[in-house]
Amino acid sequence: MRKPIIGGNWKMNRGIPSDTVNMLKKLIPSVKKVNSVDIVIAPPFTALGSAVEITKKSNIKIGAQNMYFEETGAYTGEISSLFLKKLGVEYVILGHSERRDIFKESDELINKKLKKALSMKLNPIVCIGEHLEERDAGKTKEVIHNQIHNTFKNLTKEDLIKTVIAYEPIWAIGTGKTATPEQTEEIHLFIREILELKYDSETANAIRIQYGGSIKPTNAKELFEKENIDGGLVGGASLQADSLFEIIKAADATTK
């Protein structure tokens, strides 16, 4: 049984520490009794310290939205895994499509970050997903295959199992267009097939695969009920405690 994981990717929102703390103060009591779902909130870097502090005695874990693969040095503007670790951050999102598209991050760079995160015992959430043109051209599986092959290059199966994959079709992010549960399930199964060929069936079945893209309280249940969808990475709807709690409850319900 894979434990569902719900991540709140706040993107460049709620970066003022008091703003983060206010939201988390509402979320903490409502999720108190949820123990069958991993809950991760990823605020901007500026609010990570406050987020770690306020969630210390709760069942919410804090994640960063990015990191660099070197520990220290002349890398202006970058944040290292060492700093995150020392701050008490436990997860890190890597290779989000906004990082890939806007900041030109390559699979090769994400692979280096992934290996570094794992060596620092940060739990990585690695995003993959196709553009609309690629889906329309019937290239979704090819894109996913290449991203997995390159992003997870030379990863041991022990490390792979510690990684969470977030399948986020880019055309569904922030657009209100959700991939249907069937479309998502098909790709999640395909991801497991690739991993079975690359590793083995035990590894392929153990890894958690989240869906991301316009998840809302109204569509969460039907997505999470699918066998191979192990929760979600939520953007817009994770900014308010009420809507995020509804989504967490939908994931929790699938474990009963």
Residue numbers at the binding site for ligand 13P (CB under 6 A): 9, 96, 168, 173-174, 212-215, 233-237
Closest-by-Cβ residue to ligand 13P is 235
Least distance to ligand 13P, CB of residue 239, Å: 9
| Cβ count within 10 A of residue 134 | 18
Active-site position among 105, 134, 168, 185:
168
Nearer Cβ to ligand 13P (199/230)? 230
Distance CA 52, CA 89 (A): 7
Least distance to ligand 13P, CB of residue 244, Å: 11
Nearer Cβ to ligand 13P (29/174)? 174
Active site residue 168: yes
Least distance to ligand 13P, CB of residue 200, Å: 29
E strands of 89-213, at which residues?
A: 91-94, 123-128, 164-167, 208-212
Nearer Cβ to ligand 13P (17/235)? 235
Give, in degrees to the nearest 5, the angle at Cα 159 between 90 and 59. Answer: 25
Contact 58, 32 (CB under 8 A): yes
Task: For residue 79, give the 3-state DSSP assignment.
Answer: coil
What b/e readout covers 56-68, taking b as 16+ CB neighbours within 10 angstroms?
A: eeeebbbbbbbbb
Nearer Cβ to ligand 13P (161/237)? 237
Contact 3, 17 (CB under 8 A): no
Active site residue 142: no
Active-site position among 96, 105, 185, 188:
96
Catalytic residues: 96, 168
